[in-house]
Amino acid sequence: MGAAMGWTGVDLFFVLSGFLIGGILLDVKDSPSYYKTFYIRRFYRIVPIYYLWLLGYILLLLSLRDLYSTYYSDPFIPSLKGGVLWLFAFVQNVSFDRYMTLGWVWLVPTWSLAVEEQFYMVAPLLIRRLSRQALALVLGATIFIAPLLRLWVRSHFPIMGANWDLAYILMPCRADTLAIGVLAALFWRTPSLRAWLSNRAWLLYGLTGAFFAGMVLLGRSPDLSSFSMQSVGYTWIALFYGLVLILVLEKPQGLLAWLMRAKWLREIGRLSYCIYLIHFATWWVFHLCVFLVEGRPPEWHYTAASCAALIAVYAVARISWRDIEYPLLRRGSAFQY
């Protein structure tokens, strides 16, 4: 199940993002610099590394066109009237089918980044303008409507390839996952609800166990584009991760919370942005090198290439954090709410 459902790490990220971003905005919703500080901090965290990655993509396209064209027949030169401009505007998830082999492996993780940026356009306004009761109603409605929207998109738009269809990558279709995270933040900041839950730990454990059982069933047929996954599967996965999040917060001395505090997990979390952005392209480059050198190598050569790619990804992410991301975070943190 673990390998089959590994892709749900993106759903976990959306839940955590909804919880963290929603929590920050709830705590500072009356700040006079609410919008300014939020967007400046998000800019420093997201945009520089992302734009550097895009620049690397464009330079690679322009410098290696002849070598690439020897092995692949798809278009290689980016058009400034096409997909590249979409990337800079964080709207590539609207039409991801425009990217061919190299574009696909280099840019495939960025669909979720586009979803995240589009979430930033909506969440601050809702949290600022709505009361907590109204916000809870909007979030509940979002969780209910998103699966219906996915089914509508599923029936009206064809799959774009490799199971990356619009029902999976459009922000409104994934809004239930983000809404569950924000709802968890709202719940955690409501003392009466926390007090009610603290006296009913059995209910939290029971719900988490029941949703885990559902995760096991979904893992038996983890097709991203199946009817069961697109109807209730994504929502079920997000609710499970939301329950796990609340369980860790409610029981900080429990086994699960202890595991979540593991040093290596915290290290991966700190480097996760760069790791996620570069991991697939790095894996592809290492495997391509094995193919170019050996033609048809034994399988263990590809396994060794995967291990080397893993080491390279971690090394690059460490350098990125030390020399680029952390200094930028500090600069963004200078802007106060």
Q: pLDDT digits over 238-286, tens only?
A: 999 999 999 999 999 988 899 989 999 999 999 999 999 999 999 988 9
- B/e letters for 223-252, b = 16+ CB within 10 Å, e = fewer, are ebeeeebbbbbbbbbbbbbbbbbbbbebbe
pLDDT digits (tens), the chain, 337 positions = 555 667 889 999 999 999 999 999 999 999 999 999 999 999 999 999 999 999 988 887 777 666 555 555 544 444 444 567 778 889 888 866 556 667 778 888 899 999 999 999 999 999 999 999 999 999 999 999 999 999 999 888 766 544 468 888 999 999 999 999 999 999 999 999 999 998 888 999 999 999 999 998 888 877 788 888 999 999 999 999 999 999 999 999 988 899 989 999 999 999 999 999 999 999 988 988 888 787 777 888 889 999 999 999 999 999 999 999 999 999 999 999 9
State which amino acid sits at residue 328. L
Sign of CA dihedral 284, 286, 289, 294: negative
CB 25 within 8 A of CB 128: yes
Concatenating the DSSP letter of every residue in 31-81 gives: -TTHHHHHHHHHHHHHHHHHHHHHHHHHHHHHHSHHHHHHH--S--SPPTT
CB 45 within 8 A of CB 335: no
312: its two tokens: 């390279």
| Owner of token pair 């709802």 | 183
Task: Report d(CA 183, CA 26) in Å as an integer.
Answer: 11
Q: pLDDT digits over 158-173, tens only?
A: 665 444 688 889 999 9
293 contact partners, CB below 8 Å, separation of at least 6: none
163 contact partners, CB below 8 Å, separation of at least 6: 223, 224, 225
Task: Report d(CA 322, CA 337) in Å as an integer.
Answer: 26
CB 139 within 8 A of CB 183: yes
